[in-house]
Amino acid sequence: MQEQKDRLAGMLPEWLPPGAAIVTLLAIVSSALLAVGASRPTPNEKAMWTFARPHYLMYEPRVEAWNKAAAKDGRALFDLRLLSLPAMERRMMASFLGDVPCADVLEVERRGVSRTFGGPVESVGFYDLTETLKKEGLLEEINAPSFSPWTTRGHIFGLPHDVHPVMLGYRADIVEAAGIDVSTIETWEDFARVLGPLMDTTGDGKPDRFLLNMWETNQDHLELLLLQAGGGFFDEHERPTLDSEINVHVLATITTWLGGPKRIAADAPNFSAVGNKLKADGYVLASFFPDWMGDIWKHEIPSLSGKMKLMPMPAWEKGGKRTSVWGGTMLGIPKTAVQKPGDFDKLWAFCKELYISDQFMRDLYREGGIVTPVKKYWSDPIFDEPNAFFSGQPAGRLYINLAPLVPNRNSSPYNTFAMYRTVDALVKLAEEARRAHEAGEKNAYDLPRLKARAKAFLGEAQKQVEDVLKRNVFLAEVGGAS
């Protein structure tokens, strides 16, 4: 009983009122109970759930091949199911909070996994893989930063699916027609200076296009820029760092990109018809490209095939990091699936076949543009194949070269809350600067002024996160809250 209280205390959002928390819990449990209707044909059949349709389509033939072979040698058979991301998270949390049955193997997205890390580490609902990974040498075989989202307090609870390095995808047709060599761009200052002349196409002194697809409400873009700079929301000890000097500098600089006399950015929303039209029209010249983004553009904006190229992200300072990370998925085994000797070994064998086999590595890249975190495959010639969408560049090799450099990420259950508070700070800062500029204040976009205001807004956000952390008895000491 106490363990269930511990799980509840750690995993329900701290800012929910008691009544809302009860309603939330009842919704989670009732949703999961509705999902428990499908009986398994045989005791040897196991279930795997995923939330991503492209993954599901990729896995279908692989699971079918596994089952065909498994039927002959007595291994576990697997039933693959596709759930929506909210349904997946509700059912997962219901299982971990109330021992409601769920799948034997779960493919889960980063933010969903972090929700399970709010209680004591021994109450995390996933099976602890740390010792297994050590014993089998997989900690050395798999790209180290790829473990960070699935790690809490030194324990690893998931097998990484990906690396997701980020580059810039840019309109090479426009840039090269102007005689610009992007290899001369090392920093974000270089980026604005070298490409700046491309913004005014009519000569009237006003921008007709913008250099970067970025807006203050885009949380993913903000997070990847903070991580690239060495900032973020928590340090390695899970202490909140929202008002760090790095974050202050990044927010102030981004604000100068979004408005005022040095504006270089505009919003061409991702994953939308409107945004795709703006990108196709050249309204923005460059966008953030994790390895999976190329496959999306190839299908959603095919008119840009052969007009795009990739380049490393400009660094925040000379010699700085030229990449970041966006997104992430893991494969985990719920503790509820390991009830008797041999259960874990059967499930683990399936997980390894699905995620770290050479065939999966090739499927993952050919069908999704995603590079594997398994280092022994990085020399495979598949990554050197020219990519027609990126004007013949070997996109896989460009991403592999950056894979060891992606920043580590914190897995705090409060990461999303902290991210929203940081976005709030950027929105306030950008709106305040615009109002001051429109009122005729000449120094509205001066960096020292913006930094002072960013420090104040981030200080407010820092306090909000600290106040929430104080209410979690399991993380207060780890997170430095007193």
Query: Which residue is associated with the tokens 């089998």?
Result: 136
SS3 label, residue 126: strand
The secondary structure element, H or E, covering residue 105 is strand 105-109
Instruction: Show the CA angle centred on residue 26, arms to residues 25 and 28, nearest 5°.
Output: 65
Q: How many C-beta atoms surround the C-beta of residue 378 within 10 A?
A: 20
What 8-state DSSP symbol labels residue 116?
A: G
- CATH number among 3.40.50.12280, 1.10.1530.10, 3.30.70.20, 3.40.190.10, domain 166-325+412-479: 3.40.190.10
What 8-state DSSP symbol labels residue 258?
A: H
What is the rounded distance in angstroms from the CA atom of residue 204 to the CA atom of residue 206? Answer: 6
Query: DSSP H helical segments within 178-325, as ranges?
Result: 188-195, 219-229, 245-258, 273-280, 293-300
Query: Which strands sit side by side in the sheet containing 329-332, from one edge to the other?
Result: 77-82, 45-50, 105-109, 329-332, 159-160
b or e along 55-84 (b: 16 or more beta carbons within 10 Å of the residue's beta carbon)?
bbebbeebbeebbeebeeeebbbbbbebbe
Question: Which residues 6+ apart lie within 8 Å of 384 measured at CB?
Answer: 394, 396, 397
Quote the pTM value.
Answer: 0.89
Indicate the fold that domain 2-160+327-355 takes in CATH. Answer: D-Maltodextrin-Binding Protein; domain 2 (3.40.190)
- Output phi, psi for 392, to 5 deg: 85, 0
Q: How many C-beta atoms surround the C-beta of residue 321 within 10 A?
A: 18
Q: For the chain, give every residue range classified as CATH 3.40.190.10.
A: 2-160+327-355, 166-325+412-479
CA distances from 391 to 55, 151, 378, 394 (A): 26, 38, 22, 9
pLDDT in tens, the chain (482 residues): 444 444 444 444 444 444 444 445 444 444 444 444 444 445 569 999 999 999 999 999 999 999 999 998 889 999 999 999 999 999 999 999 887 788 999 999 998 899 999 889 999 999 999 999 999 999 999 999 999 999 999 999 999 999 999 999 999 999 999 999 999 999 999 999 999 999 999 999 899 999 999 999 999 999 999 999 999 999 988 899 999 999 999 999 999 999 999 999 999 999 999 999 999 999 999 999 999 999 999 999 999 999 999 999 999 999 999 999 999 999 999 999 998 999 999 999 999 999 999 999 999 999 999 999 999 999 999 999 999 999 999 999 999 999 999 999 999 999 999 999 999 999 999 999 999 999 999 999 999 999 999 999 999 999 999 999 988 776 655 544 43
The secondary structure element, H or E, covering residue 348 is helix 343-355
